[in-house]
Amino acid sequence: IWWAKNPLATVWVGQGKVPFSRQEYTSSGKQQFVDRWIGNALYAPGRDQGIRLEGMNQSKTFEYAIGAYNGIARNININDNDEYLYSGRVAWMPFGEYKFEESSLDRPDGPRLALGLAGLTNTVGLGASAIDVERLGYEVAFKWGGFNAQGEFFDENAENQSNVTSDNQGYYIQAGYLFPGNKFEIAGRWESIERKIRAHPFARDVKAKPRILTITQSTYDGVLYNVETIKDLLGTKIDTLHFDEA
């Protein structure tokens, strides 16, 4: 449900994307690559049920969005605890509106720039297993003519009920050039979530060879398919393969 009487203060209620990550907020049909960056599911909350207030000024150089959500997942209309996910994002666009789209299909004659800051807080789980999460996101996007580039950096602090904390960071940077005619483009992306892996107590040495991998196949007929193929692909990289039928 939208209540859009004032472009500076539009009210939205329902299920939709939580305002946090620029790339998550960008529709899949307007992505530069087939997939979003590797850490998207770790840092971007995705879709949830809640209420949001958003707006943009008349010159389209500033936009914001704040909201409160269940904080559990899409398509679940009840909350699993007494806490809510609170999220907000602001962006400054000094040269005019910078829409949520990657690549540079519009080939602007002048520069386009977006600088954004986002934050969220949420409690995941119940009782003694609950984890309090605080997350910040920083974004920059730029394009001019056929060139475009964007990147995001995420900083997360998680704390369990025993006051054990974990600081996790991740980022991606991508850039590309769309040749005249808009039929050919060259683009690349660099991304990293190594610190998040390194911070986990079970993976102190991220360069070490994994000792065991559990593969779950949800076929529901009790048959494990393509076992020999999987062994050929992974057998030299992992000491032990454990197959599990869910």
Q: What is the pTM of this model?
A: 0.77
Q: How does pLDDT run across 27-60, given as a tens digit for each residue?
A: 999 999 999 998 898 899 889 999 999 999 999 9
Q: Using CA atoms, how far apart are residues 58 and 211, in angstroms rounded to an integer?
A: 57
pLDDT category of residue 129 using cuts at 50, 70 and 90 = confident
Higher pLDDT, 159 or 174: 174
Whether residue 218 has pLDDT greater than 90: no
Higher pLDDT, 15 or 160: 15
Mean pLDDT of 88-106: 96
Of 121, 164, 171, 120, the residue nearest 150 (C-alpha): 171
- 153: which 2 tokens? 């950096």
Q: How does pLDDT run across 192-207, given as a tens digit for each residue?
A: 886 556 666 666 565 6
Higher pLDDT, 142 or 221: 142
CA max distance for the chain: 61
What pLDDT does residue 235 have?
75
Place of tokens 């004659």: 109
Higher pLDDT, 63 or 130: 63
What pLDDT does residue 219 have?
61
Whether residue 239 has pLDDT greater than 90: no
Of 79, 87, 63, 46, the residue nearest 10 (C-alpha): 63
Q: Using CA atoms, how far apart are residues 149 and 177, in angstroms rounded to an integer?
A: 9
Whether residue 149 has pLDDT greater than 90: yes
What pLDDT does residue 66 have?
97
Question: E-assigned strands of the chain?
Answer: 2-3, 10-17, 47-56, 62-69, 85-92, 112-124, 131-144, 147-160, 165-178, 185-192, 212-217, 240-245
pLDDT category of residue 164 using cuts at 50, 70 and 90 = confident
Mean pLDDT of 134-159: 95
Mean of the per-residue pLDDT values of the chain: 88
Q: Using CA atoms, how far apart are residues 139 and 47, in angstroms rounded to an integer?
A: 20
pLDDT category of residue 104 using cuts at 50, 70 and 90 = very high
